[in-house]
Structure 1
Amino acid sequence: MKYNVIEICAGAGGQALGLHRAGFKHKLAVELDQTAADTLETNFREKLKIDAKVAVGDVADPDVWEPKHYAGDVDLLAGGVPCPPFTIAGKQLGANDERDLFAWAIEQVGIIQPRALLLENVRGLSLPRFAGYRQHVLDQLAEFGYIGEWRLLQASDFGVPQLRPRFVLVAFKPDDAAYFHWPEPQGDAPTVGETLRELMGSRGWKHLDAWVSAANKIGPTIVGGSKKHGGADLGPTRAKRAWAQLGVDALGVANEPPGPDDEFAVGPKLTTEMVELIQGFPGTGAWDFLGKKTSRYRQIGNAFPPRVAEEIGKAIFAALEHTGTPAPRETVEHDPVYKALKNAKGPIRADQMLNADGEPLDTGEIEKRITMLSADFEINIEVRNNVTRYELGEFKAFTGQDDHGRHEVFLKNRARIS
């Protein structure tokens, strides 16, 4: 059988392709960018042979889709919500970034009540800066009746020839959660040279063998970029240097592979078809990307590698089928300071904050965590009789509020958000 899935912030279909191969069938996909949505709709129809609806627009706009209309009729809610709020290369604004939809997505679990949840994001979300944010997510899921778990997965462990760590959240109702097991690494990924040999040599480039021999590692993480920046290239300065060591010119994307006698100071640039293979798409022609070259590159570069999505999808499918041996699962604590503040009946002193074992927390650690928490939560601090007390206030993130500041900023920057 095929379980159904609703995918939010679907992009051009990396996750969709992987989930389809794992046995899921899309009921609906929602995507902001029109060209990416056109790519998705075309491939649903022509490659996957399904008639899934693709809704275009702000995923949080009820005029685009209404989550409540799907309540109780969804097996898997999945998505790759925007990365900039958490990326190490950015400002890590988290809940204060108008592009942050992670907390909003969690709220939809309570509305739709799917059997399972899959959300992926960048490695930055796994850092201590966002421990309180992660704890809030897990606690909110628990209130909805789900057990959630985070895991940092390396795309290169699943045959993808690049460094691409992705921070993945899955959640299930308890009966299904017991059967979920994270996919195991599958061995070394092929090198850039091995992956691109056929395409790079398709026009008879005479230096192909030497280039393949030098491109003997997996590549840096492909960066799709955003509409706020210029044309397509393969990432920030550090990534460009790493690509140069593999004999790849990362200062743009080529229109075609090198010709027979082409010479390069650094090496050839990659074509969008080559970037598809580096991103883990199954091969030229397996998935059609619409639009001009820069748009195609961004669609590919921002995708969740299909191979990784497929392996996670298979693990989720097996859990829904209750395949294998069940094992108890429980929510893991990420931020004891957040938990202490949340569980308190009012303002509490530092010496009243305890860890999971009931031991007092280190004062220096408490101060550091309070500073981090205050970026995503209102923290009320009061001093009485020379004693400081702390109280957890409102979560700053957008969770669906009509009066949230996200709306004004989002509309102002709408044309530059991708």
Structure 2
Amino acid sequence: MAELTGGGLVAKTLKQAGVNHIFTLCGGHILPIYEGCLTHGIRIIDVRHEQAAAHAADAYARLTRGIGVAVVTAGPGVTDAVTGVVNAYAARSPLLLIGGAAMIGLKGMGALQDIPQLPLFGSCTKGTWSVPETRLIPEFLTTAMRTALTGRPGPVFVEIPIDVLVNEVEDRLAPIPTGYVHRNPAAADPESITRFSDLLARAERPLVMAGSGVYWDDAASDLARFAERAGVPIFMNGAGRGCLPSDHPLAFAQARGFALSNADVVAVLGAPLDFRLGYGRPPTFAEDATVIMVDSDPTEMGRNRPLALGLTGHIGLILRQVAGALPSGVPSRFETWLGQVRDKEREGREKLEAQAVSDQVPISHYRWAHEIARVVDANTIVVGDGGDVVNCAAKFVPLQRPGQWLDPGQFGCLGV
């Protein structure tokens, strides 16, 4: 019978799950995983700090809408990765962090780099596990990946002690589960769809805020069809940027403050009402605005502001349902409102463009962003680091497709 080390089982399980890359910084507690990766054809991408490994795996997960894997050594390797995991949690990114650990029999005895690692991730992951036996590695890893990918995506942590990685087990005693991830998209009930379409059809000044959930649900084409059917202005934030091209006639950016504060109906799609949206409260939102939310995460419903309607499910499916329920002639009702938003968009753009050609020294941050934007095309992936960089770049960089824009998200981490 063929035997595999625990490290070989890790690599075999990841490979069967479609993982072809891991991001890592070499450490003694995880060497058997590298040997397994070499055997099973998984590319090892080395970094110089474990935080970078976590950020890289986060980015990989976002760009593929699949699992991104970081592998770090025990103790300081694990603690160095915490910031990257927290950032992924806030950004709903399905990151799998695999951490080495001291031998099971030496835990608590002062072994090299031994600390209680699972409690570090209790508040910033969807789940944490420590693998007790080599034969259970596939079961624990597939459970972790299923947890990361289903519902609201997010990071998970699996600790594997060095003896569990070194030990060998017969292949037949460690079967790798299959068919363990089923992301069945959920539609909304007919009554909620009717309510949504009625609220929109009766509005005078509606708008849509499309957030990262639109990207994660792969709903960009549904957003475009809905926008054209409803005829409402669309604003985007987070990974939602690019889900409508920047030059789409219903895509706006510079008029956001005006539009949000004057809208009487706001449909928030996959975007939490956090600081980026003024918590959904005045003065960012009008006091009497009717707020609708669509999200895969039911815990977002009603957070920071009461909702007129909250729908939990797949954003693309729900947009299709609402578009089909809207009465004909709805877009023509919003022409005056759209004209006002377009005027504010033009005013905002003109102010920015005046600063974008400034020759001041040191260089204006708007001039810098303008020059960057000139070399961005549809094949470019733009990463906006935290702070002023992301704020300035977002005002200028043109986006043509989903997944073209990466930013830290709600955690605002520098150095991503």
TM-score by length of 2: 0.24
Q: Greater relative contact order: 1 or 2 (C-alpha under 8 angstroms, separation 6 or more)?
A: 1
Whose Rg is larger? 2
More helix as a share of residues: 2
